Amino acid sequence: MDEDLAGLVTEDTREKMGKAVDHVRHEMGNVRTGRASSALVETLMVDYYGTPTQLRQLAGFSVPDAMLLVVSPYDKGSLGAIEKAIMTSDLGINPTNDGAVIRLAFPPLTEERRKELVKVVRHKAEEGRVAVRNLRRAGRHELESLQKDGELTTDELERTEKELEKITHEQVALIDQLLAHKEQELLQV
């Protein structure tokens, strides 16, 4: 029974840490490199006939070349709303509308802007590391309360805490890999 409870806490913590790493991966994917990508706009909220709707539900995307993203609305009546959502976003890109599709031309990033984006990505990675460590702490508190209730022996507590520590290091290493990859992508000219 004791092993089961400790195992449940460990698995629950591992799952939550995995979600934290996935969140960091998603956040980094939204940081614009010099290339066009639908990930930059597909989660934008568009006021579609009075209902906030994600752009990915209203349009298809294509990338004809590295610097151009084409947004093809399923409903031509939503062109204006999509264009407005893109203009008011923090992308800093002016869409061009030809009545059928919206084209987004991504200018090459300046060296200064690349360095700013690297800082943003490092900040997101640090937030992810903090989230993983907070989850480790929550798992430890849960284990310690199990020990106080007599559900876990001191040896089992120590063994399970070591397991939690190992999982934490693995997840932080994953975040560091994501950061290194994204930094390399951003600094590539």
Backbone φ, ψ for residue 47 (5° rounding):
-80, 90
Per residue in 16-69, pLDDT (tens digit) is 999 999 999 988 877 766 677 777 788 888 988 888 988 889 999 998 887 888
Confidence (pLDDT) at 106:
80
Cβ within 8 Å of residue 104, ≥6 positions away: 36, 41, 68, 69, 70, 71, 86, 91, 93, 95, 96
DSSP state of 33: -
Q: At what angle do helices 2-29 and 154-187 cross, to 10 degrees?
A: 10
The pLDDT confidence band at residue 87, using thresholds 50, 70 and 90, is confident
**Same domain, yes or no: 22 and 44:** no
**Same domain, yes or no: 64 and 155:** no
Confidence (pLDDT) at 43:
83
**Same domain, yes or no: 119 and 75:** no
pLDDT at residue 85 above 60?
yes
Alpha helices in the chain (DSSP H): 2-29, 79-88, 111-148, 154-187
pLDDT at residue 184 above 70?
yes
Cβ within 8 Å of residue 119, ≥6 positions away: none
**Same domain, yes or no: 114 and 89:** no
Domain count, the chain: 2
Q: Which residue, 51, 70, 105, sits at the end of a domain?
A: 105
**Same domain, yes or no: 99 and 114:** no
Q: Quote the CA–CA distance of 158 and 140 in Å, as a whole number.
A: 10
- Per the structure, the complete domain to which residue 158 belongs is given by 2-30+110-187
Question: Which residues are 154's β-sheet partners?
Answer: none
Percentage of the chain with pLDDT > 90? 41
Q: Which residue, 105, 133, 154, sits at the end of a domain?
A: 105
Confidence (pLDDT) at 1:
44
Q: Which residue, 56, 82, 105, sits at the end of a domain?
A: 105
